[in-house]
Structure 1
Amino acid sequence: MLSIILPSKNEAAALVALLPRLRAAQPDAEIIVVDDGSTDSTASICAEAGVRVVRQAYSMGNGAAIKRGARAASGDILVFMDADGQHDPALIDRLLLRLNDGMDMVVGARDWSGQAGVSRGVANAIYNWLATRMTGFEVKDLTSGFRAVRADKFREFLHLLPNGFSYPTTSTMAFFRSAYAVAYEPIPVAKRIGKSHIKPIRDGFRFFLIIFKIATLYSPLKLFVPASAAFFVLGLGYYAYTFLTMHRLTNMSALLFSASVIVFLIGLISEQITALMYRPGD
């Protein structure tokens, strides 16, 4: 059985047109709209369309809505898509076709024209490059919210998903880390209906943190070892300078050497913690 999950916060304007199209494209699917504390007519529109609504008493975030929807769904295949009208329901079959080829997750990959502005496009390009370097696999769209997954495998990682944004990043890296097969299907994306919930200033710092989260979710040592080596090289270079000019080891050199060791040890501990996070059965 197929379950389609749409996290929604004040997306009534888009749902009016989206839900009938979704029902027409997938008449046998279970459709779940997770109402993240909406103050508009989302509930009544869903009732008219005959889709199931899981309502959160107050806004808990996009990731929390995804988790609530995944727990409530009864299908063995889950499709996640945005409720803002960007994703075409007709494209779901393309994701499912790839999933039936032996994949565990299929992600709808946007091209540059599908990015919400130049800044978002540049940020996503950086995320994709970093994730590709970390995993050794080509990551074409790390932050896409349009994806099809096998329910049992996705639920293994619910405890890792954040309540806010970036659930796509976390789930993708978790699948790669656990050696589950991930594929990307190119898709067109329409302009969203309504106002985006992304705040450039507030979320700019959040996106910066995602870069570090990508590394620590997959392989912390790939982040900490280069940082440790940088501190060691700086310490060695400064020691060479002070030895030639003052014939002694300075406190700064000792501090840089100490920082190199500390960062490396933190990386080792982080690697062990990451391994525990992905233990089978958790």
Structure 2
Amino acid sequence: MSRLSIILPAKNEAPALADLLPRLRAAHPEAEIIVVDDGSTDDTCRICADAGVVCLSSPYSMGNGAAIKRGARAAAGEVLVFMDGDGQHDPADVARLLAKLGEGYDMAVGARDWGSQAGVGRGVANTLYNWLATRMTGHEVADLTSGFRAVRADKFREFLYLLPNGFSYPTTSTMAFFRSAYPVAYVPIKAAQRVGKSHIKPIKDGVRFLLIIFKIATLYSPLKLFVPTSVVFFLLGCVNYTWTFMHEGRLTNGSTLLWSAAVIVFLIGLVSEQITALTYRRDV
């Protein structure tokens, strides 16, 4: 098999890494293991040194996505495996992801079941994301936000400039692969309870997760989101006009505004579609 690089973004995950890294090394002794220390203030670097793995340290926290990008640039492997450093992912599942790549896929994602979701709210949100992404792409998306995935390095690096520095790199990379017609597979996994405290902030990250909905559309096909929205505004304008004409015998400003909104939203969709096409354009 092509040389394997396993990349773990970590921020103050020393207790989890102390248990995870020896198990990971035992399961894949030939692999290059890189821990990207995202401004940790604990013993992450020492634990990495004790385990004999590479540790790339940042002087301050830049975000999960930034750590992923730094690790991907530094990795020497032709195949990259990304997994969380908090102990949720089982090293034994890495082989199952690699087996999918061996079947001809360019990305294999560990898909969590409902019992592996971090709470009901996160589970409901992820179910909504999966449904929307499936509708947008026309392919089944079993876990859009999973951070446990194996990819071909050359394909993944094509989209590094698209990846955000925050937590939504899985969404961006998945939609980018679908948009570029790189085959994606999903492998069912069970994620364990994380070790330590989550770095996700409910209010701040709740807003961020809502923005993922719009990112899903703009990364794949904006018109699939903007056209239905435009149709809704147009139909609301027609309903409002029918009501006011029957009761007042005239056209009101409300109907005009709704129809204008329908046209504006549709035009924004057209412009977004062109921008998306240019985003993925590569000179051959």
Tell me the TM-score normalized by structure 2.
0.97
**Aligned residue identity for 2:256:** A
Name the SS for the 1:139 alignment partner: coil
Partners of 1:65 and 1:225 in 2: CA distance? 36
Root mean square deviation, CA, Å: 1.1
Over the matched positions of the two proteins, sequence identity in percent amounts to: 76
Q: Which residue number in structure 2 is paired with residue 113 of structure 1? A: 115
Q: Which residue number in structure 2 is paired with residue 239 of structure 1? A: 241
The 1:281/1:184 distance shift into structure 2, 3 A limit, reads farther
Partners of 2:283 and 2:4 in 1: CA distance? 24
Partners of 2:176 and 2:214 in 1: CA distance? 15
Aligned residues: 282
Q: Does 1:25 align with 2:27?
A: yes
Q: What is the Cα deviation at residue 54 of structure 1?
A: 1.1
Name the SS for the 1:86 alignment partner: coil
Pairing partner for 1:271 from 243, 265, 273: 273
Per-residue CA deviations over 1:11-60 (Å, capped at 9, x if unaligned) read 00101011111111110111000000000000111111111111112100
Between stretches 235-244 and 20-29, larger displacement belongs to 235-244
Structure 2 runs not aligned, ≥5 long? none
**Aligned residue identity for 2:204:** R
Partners of 1:91 and 1:257 in 2: CA distance? 52
Between stretches 18-27 and 234-243, larger displacement belongs to 234-243
Q: Which residue number in structure 2 is paired with residue 202 of structure 1? A: 204
Pairing partner for 2:9 from 2, 7, 10: 7
Q: What is the Cα deviation at residue 173 of structure 1?
A: 0.6
Q: What is the Cα deviation at residue 281 of structure 1?
A: 4.9
Per-residue CA deviations over 1:70-121 (Å, capped at 9, x if unaligned) read 0010111000000001111111111101101100000011111111111111
Partners of 1:40 and 1:167 in 2: CA distance? 25
Partners of 1:188 and 1:247 in 2: CA distance? 62
Partners of 1:110 and 1:239 in 2: CA distance? 48
Q: What is the Cα deviation at residue 244 of structure 1?
A: 2.0
**Aligned residue identity for 1:62:** N
Pairing partner for 2:126 from 124, 127, 149: 124
Name the SS for the 1:149 alignment partner: strand
Name the SS for the 1:58 alignment partner: coil
